[in-house]
Amino acid sequence: MFDVTHAPEALAADRQTRRGVAFKQKTLKSAIGCSGVGLHTGKKISMTLKPAPIGTGIVFNRTDAGTKTGRIPARFDAVVDTRLCTCVGNADGLSVGTIEHLMSAIAGMGIDNLIVDIDGPEVPVMDGSAAPFVFLIECAGVAEQDAPRRAVKVLKSVSVIDGGILARLDPADDDFTIAFEIDFANPLIGRQTFEMTLPLCDGPDAGAYRTDVASARTFGFLEDVERLNKMGLALGGSLDNAVVISGNKVLNEEGLRFEDECVRHKALDALGDLYLAGAPLIGRFSGSKSGHAHSNQLLRALFADADAWTFVELDDHHALHQAEWRRAANA
């Protein structure tokens, strides 16, 4: 079903040199902020990415919470809505939506610990891609912390099937691969496939993610934008933050950033949504026409089965080997 491109030789060589090397947790060197409109609310929102201690994970903090709890962990089990974006919420009823592009940048840049101060219910949409967030992380600088990086290793295949839609996680040796396929009746998009592998040691030089994926923008069809606007949704949506397609035309003057920008954006979304595992995954994700809801259901299915995953420390390849043995024992 997928056009499988094998991991380049360079990646295999890289794996060899990584054996026994410590991969430290990472945060930012300094705080950095941005502001912009929320895609769905259309409101101006300010956000600051702040360094966080070892073991924090990625945590949103609503600075406008008042007497309520503003803290919302960026985790799969805090997801409260996946209809138009991925939205996480807490017990006090506060939420942050459209987190997927920011989460994708954080995952792609290999950041483990971060507090995201935000003064509204939605991450600013910026240009509709993850590139502005990658830029912020690069400007702030990445700092290594004195603790090993922890990953979630997939030990057993889990899948979510919804009609003709599929989302699946399979075990893999060392890295995380995303393979995505879309198939639209629209003649401009049609069927597109894309595959990327993220070596887990990557930090500030997140190579292929930065050049091939981060700048792919969200996309929509003109008729859907009009329908959503009538429902009071996508109010911040414009040609500045989404590719808008009408029939076989791209309405954006500058055209597409990649010929297959749509499927690259779906891979970007999947990476962000799957980083809600709370740690990088070691495994292979296959998505066929899947969306935010399926990625979340997939993580819930993975963590519901204690035999399907294990934590590994990335500087401890004994742990990796143990996982291999466990997988072999389960087979």
**Residues forming the site for Zn ion (CB under 5 A):** 218, 269
Biggest CA–CA distance in the chain, Å, is 56
**H-state helical runs in the chain:** 9-18, 100-108, 131-140, 207-208, 222-230, 261-274, 292-304, 317-330
DSSP code of 96? E
Identity of the residue, 122 or 269, whose beta carbon is nearer to Zn ion in the bound complex = 269
Nearest to 122 by CA among 65, 180, 42: 42
With respect to Zn ion, which residue has the nearer C-beta, 18 or 101? Answer: 101
The least distance separating Zn ion from the CB of residue 225, rounded to whole angstroms, comes to 14
Instruction: Yes or no: say if 166 and 298 are a contact pair by the CB < 8 Å rule.
Output: no
Question: Is the CB of 59 or the CB of 268 nearer to Zn ion?
Answer: 268
In the complex with Zn ion, which residue's Cβ is closer, 177 or 218? 218
Residue 164's alpha-carbon distances to 11, 181, 222, 301, in angstroms, are 33, 12, 24, 19
What are the residue numbers of the active site? Answer: 292
| CA distance linking residue 9 with residue 177, whole number of Å | 15
CB of 100 to Zn ion, least distance (A): 5
Cβ–Cβ under 8 Å, residues 41 and 122: yes
Please say which residue, 153 or 264, places its beta carbon nearer to Zn ion: 264
| Nearest alpha-carbon partner for 137 in 22, 23, 26, 280 | 26
The backbone torsions φ and ψ at residue 32, rounded to the nearest 5 degrees and listed phi first, read -150, 140
Give min distance, CB of 89 to Zn ion, in A: 19
How many Cα neighbours within 13 Å face the side chain of 83? 6
* Distance in angstroms (rounded) separating the CA atoms of residues 91 and 114: 21
Least gap, CB of 34 to Zn ion (angstroms): 17
Instruction: Report in angstroms how near the CB of residue 129 gets to Zn ion at its nearest.
Output: 8
Q: How far apart are CA 147 and CA 235, in angstroms?
A: 43
Q: For the stretch 310-322, what's the b/e string if a residue is b when 16 or more beta carbons lie within 10 angstroms of its beta carbon? A: bebbbbebebbee
Candidates 127, 101, 120, 99; CA nearest to 45 is: 120
113 vs 218, beta carbon nearer Zn ion: 218
